[in-house]
Structure 1
Amino acid sequence: MDPVRALRQIAFHLERAAEPTYRVRAFRRAASTIEPLTERELRERVERGTLTDLPGIGKATATVITEALAGQQPRYLTSLLDTAPTLTVGEELRQALRGDCHTHSDWSDGGSPVLEMAEAARELGHEWIALTDHSPRLRVANGLSADRLRAQLELVRQLNEQLAPFRILTGIEVDILDDGSLDQDPALLAELDLVVGSVHSKLRMPAAEMTERLCAAVANPHLDVLGHCTGRLVTGKGRPESQFDPERVFTACRDHNVAVEINSRPERLDPPRRLLRLAVDLGCEFAIDSDAHAPGQLDWLGFGCARAQECGVDADRVINTRTAAQLVRRRTKARAPSHARTRT
Structure 2
Amino acid sequence: MDPVEALDRIAFLLERSLAPTYRVRAFRAAARTLSGLSPEEVRERAAAGSLERLNGVGPKTAQVVLEALAGEVPGYLRKLEDEAAGEPAEQAEQAGRELRALLRGDCHLHSDWSDGGSPIEEMGRTAAQLGHEWAALTDHSPRLTVARGLSADRLREQLDVVAELNETWAPFRLLTGIECDILEDGSLDQDPELLGMLDVVVVSVHSKLRMDARSMTRRMVAAVRDPHSDVLGHCTGRLLTGRGRPESQFDADEVFAACRETGTALEVNSRPERQDPPRRLLRRAVEAGVLFSIDTDAHAPGQLDWQILGCARAQECGVPPERVVTTWSMDELLAWTRERKVPSGVPGG
Same fold, judged at TM 0.5 (above): yes
Q: Distance in 1 between matches of 2:239 and 2:56?
A: 34
Letter in 2 for 1:88: Q
> What residue number does 1:190 align with?
196
Written as runs of structure 1 = structure 2, the 5 A alignment for 1:193-342 is 193-334=199-340
- 1:285–1:319: 8 Å Cα contact kept in structure 2? yes
Offset of 1:188 from its aligned partner? 0.8
- Per the normalisation by structure 2, the TM-score is 0.95
Which residue identity is paired with 1:8? D
Residue type of the alignment partner of 2:348: R
1: distance between equivalents of 2:319 and 2:102?
13
CA distance in 2, matches of 1:52, 1:186: 50
Shift of 1:119: 0.5
Q: Which stretch shows the higher mean deviation, 87-96 or 220-229?
A: 87-96
Report the equivalent of 1:169. Answer: 175
Matched, 1:155 2:161: yes
1:335 Cα deviation from its structure 2 partner = 8.9
- The Cα of 1:183 is off from its aligned counterpart by 0.5
**What's the secondary structure of 1:42's corresponding residue?**
helix
Between the aligned partners of 1:30 and 1:53, the Cα distance in structure 2 is 11
CA RMSD of aligned residues (A): 1.4
Q: Could you list the per-position Cα deviations for residues 161-220 of structure 1 after superposition, in whole angstroms to 9, with x for gaps in the alignment?
A: 110110011100000000000001111111111100000000001000000000000000
Q: Does 1:128 align with 2:134?
A: yes
Q: Which amino acid aligns with 2:55?
A: P
Partner of 2:12: 12
Q: Is the 8 A contact 1:171 1:192 kept in 2?
A: yes
Contact 1:221 1:335 in 2 (8 A): no
Higher mean displacement: 317-326 or 72-81: 72-81
Q: How does 1:24-39 map to 2 (within 5 A)?
A: 24-39=24-39
What is the deviation of 1:2? Answer: 1.6
User: For residues 246-294 of structure 1, what are the alpha-carbon distances to aligned partners after superposition, in whole Å with 9 as ceiling and x for unaligned?
Assistant: 0000010011000000000111010000000000011111000000000
Contact 2:214 2:250 in 1 (8 A): yes
Q: Distance in 2 between matches of 1:22 and 1:193?
A: 33
Once the 2 structures are TM-superposed, how far is the Cα of residue 56 of structure 1 from its aligned partner?
2.3
Amino acid at match of 2:274: R
Verify: 1:143 aligned to 2:138, yes or no.
no
Question: 5+ unaligned residues in a row in structure 1: which ranges?
Answer: 337-341
Question: Superposed, which structure 2 residues align to 1:68-87 within 5 Å?
Answer: 68-84=68-84, 85=87, 86=90, 87=93
**Following TM superposition, by how much is the alpha carbon of 1:71 offset from its aligned partner in structure 2, in angstroms?**
2.3
Partner Cα distance (1:211, 1:12) in 2: 38
| Letter aligned with residue 69 of structure 1 | L
Segment drifting more, 219-228 vs 31-40: 31-40
Q: Quick one: distance in 1 between partners of 2:145 and 2:2?
A: 39
| TM score, norm. by length of structure 1 | 0.96
Q: CA deviation at 1:57?
A: 1.7
Which whole-Å CA distance do the structure 1 matches of 2:36 and 2:287 have between them? 55
Is the 1:218–1:256 Cα contact (8 Å) retained in structure 2?
yes
**Contact 2:195-2:228 at 8 Å conserved across structures:** yes
| Counterpart position of 1:66 | 66
Take 2:183 and 2:340, find their aligned partners in 1: how far apart are those partners? 22
Is the 1:169–1:324 contact (alpha carbons within 8 Å) kept by the matching residues of 2?
no
Native 8 Å contact 2:335 2:341 kept in 1: no
Give the deviation of 1:53 after TM superposition. 2.1
CA offsets per residue over residues 115-146 of structure 1, 9 Å max, x none?
Answer: 11010011111111000000010011111111
Rounded to whole Å, the distance in 2 between the matches of 1:302 and 1:203 is 27
**Residue of structure 2 in register with 1:47 after alignment:** 47
The alignment status of 1:23 with 2:23, answered yes or no, reads: yes
Instruction: Give secondary structure in 2 for the equivalent of 1:135.
Output: coil
Tell me the secondary structure at the aligned position of residue 288 of structure 1. Answer: strand
Is the CA contact 1:222–1:335 (under 8 Å) kept in the aligned structure 2? no
Q: Distance in 2 between matches of 1:121 and 1:71?
A: 28
Structure 2 CA distance for partners of 1:149 and 1:239, relative to 1, 3 Å: same
Name the SS for the 2:174 alignment partner.
Answer: strand
Cα distance in 2, alignment partners of residues 69 and 148 from structure 1:
42
Distance 1:293 1:229 in 2: 18
Q: Which amino acid is 1:67 matched to?
A: E
Say which SS state the counterpart of residue 29 (structure 1) adopts.
helix
